Amino acid sequence: MSIRRRTDPQNQSGTRYPTCLPIPHNSTGTWISNLWEVNAMTVRTSTWVLATGIALVTAVAFGASLLPRLSAAPAPARTIYMAAVEPKGGTTSDKESFPTIALPPGGGYVLKAPDNTGRWEVSTYQWQPSLIMANQGEQVTLEIVGINGAEHVSSIPGYVSSFTVKRGQVTRVSFMANRAGMFPILCFTHNPTMTGNLVILPRQ
């Protein structure tokens, strides 16, 4: 380090002070050159770190694109079993008089007059069960067997536009329960009694 003696009126003792920061003995130009080299090395290092980071991110993204895409978990499935039925009852005229008031029209009610033995019957067409429930987000399948009635032309407005249930056959109706609420299950052949309700519970 270069040292010079400082002598002035305020410092008569001749105390030595360092003139500045240490300067290498070779030259000021060399010191500046070294400083430039250090700065250049810092820039190169920063550039290398940045380039390495970019390359790493690119490699990860490219590798991820080669992996098989993970599909979303399948929706939970629910199968509901139903039947098209005709509850029926009857008696004879000597025990109970045949009703004189007609039942509502529409095919859902059936009132048979007394036969030659005096027996008369009454029946109605229904879905059994008439109230079914599922959760929003489930894949729902209705498996419906026809027991009574030749056929039932039906619909679930909001989910299924049309389906037909026939006696002695199983009809499967599938849909994704993506809307919460209450939806009617209608049989157009036997209204108004053959009307059920589908309840889709909202997601929690």
Q: Where are the domains of the chain?
A: 3-66, 77-201
Superfamily of domain 77-201: Cupredoxins -  blue copper proteins (2.60.40.420)
* Bridge partners for 14 per DSSP: none
Q: How confident is the model at residue 114 (pLDDT cuts 50, 70, 90)?
A: very high
Q: What is the pLDDT of residue 124?
A: 97
Contact 138, 130 (CB under 8 A): no
| Burial class of residue 78 (count of CB atoms within 10 Å of its CB; 0-12, 13-18, 19+) | middle
Per-residue confidence (pLDDT) for residue 73, from 0 to 100? 74
- Predicted local confidence at residue 5, as pLDDT: 47
pTM of the predicted structure, to 2 decimals: 0.63
Cα distance between residue 125 and residue 110, in whole Å:
9
Q: Which residue has the tokens 């009126």?
A: 9
**pLDDT surpassing 70 at residue 60:** no
